[in-house]
Structure 1
Amino acid sequence: MSLKKATLLIIVILLIDQVSKFYIKTQFALHHRIEVFEWFQILFVENDGMAWGTKLSDIFTGISDRTAKLALTIFRIVAVIGIGYWLVNSVRKKGPNILIIAIALIFAGALGNIIDSVFYGVIFDDSYSQVATFLPEVGYDSIFHGKVVDMLHFPIWQGVLPTWIPFVGGDYFTFFEPVFNVADMAISTGIGMLIVFNKSAFHHEEIATGEKDEGSENTI
Structure 2
Amino acid sequence: MSLKKAYLIVILVLLADQISKIYVKTHFMHDGFTEVFSWFRIQFIENEGMAWGTKIPAWLGGKITLTLFRIGAVGLIGWWLWDSVKKKQSPYLITSIALILAGAFGNIIDSVFYGVIFEHSMGQVAEFSTANHYGKLFEGKVVDMLYFPIVKGSDGNTLFFNAIFNLADAAISVGVGILIVFNKKAFPKAE
Q: Which category of TM-score, normalised to the shorter sequence, fits these structures?
A: over 0.9
TM-score (norm 1): 0.83
Aligned AA for 2:72? V
1:63 aligns with 2:59: yes
Cα distance in 2 for partners of 1:153, 1:79 equals 27
Q: Within 5 Å, give how 1:57-206 maps onto structure 2.
A: 57=57, 63=59, 67-160=61-154, 173-203=158-188, 206=189
Q: Percent identity?
A: 57
Shift of 1:113: 0.2
Shift of 1:48: 0.7
Cα distance in 1 for partners of 2:118, 2:159 equals 31
* Corresponding position of 2:35: 35
Contact 1:99–1:194 (CA under 8 A) maintained in structure 2:
yes
Shift of 1:138: 2.8
Deviations 1:29-85 (A, max 9, x none): 00001111000001000001111111122xxxx717xx2111000000000000000
Q: Which runs of 4+ in 1 moved over 3 A?
A: none
Contact 2:150–2:158 (CA under 8 A) maintained in structure 1:
no
Give the greater-gyration-radius structure (CA): 1
Aligned AA for 1:72? L
Cα distance in 2 for partners of 1:181, 1:144 equals 19
Contact 1:39–1:154 (CA under 8 A) maintained in structure 2:
yes
Shift of 1:173: 4.4
Aligned AA for 2:50? M
Contact 1:160–1:173 (CA under 8 A) maintained in structure 2:
no
Contact 2:149–2:158 (CA under 8 A) maintained in structure 1:
no
Contact 2:46–2:142 (CA under 8 A) maintained in structure 1:
yes
- When the two chains are superposed, the root-mean-square deviation of aligned CA atoms in Å is 1.6
TM-score (norm 2): 0.96
List runs of 5+ in structure 2 lacking aligned partners. none
Cα distance in 1 for partners of 2:139, 2:89 equals 36
Aligned residues: 191
Cα distance in 2 for partners of 1:145, 1:23 equals 20
Aligned AA for 1:185? A
- Cα distance change of structure 1 residues 131 and 173 upon mapping to structure 2, 3 Å threshold: closer
Task: Give the number of the structure with larger relative contact order, counting CA–CA contacts within 8 Å between residues 6 or more apart.
Answer: 2
* Corresponding position of 2:7: 7
Contact 2:150–2:160 (CA under 8 A) maintained in structure 1:
yes
Cα distance in 1 for partners of 2:39, 2:83 equals 41
List runs of 5+ in structure 1 lacking aligned partners. 162-171, 211-220
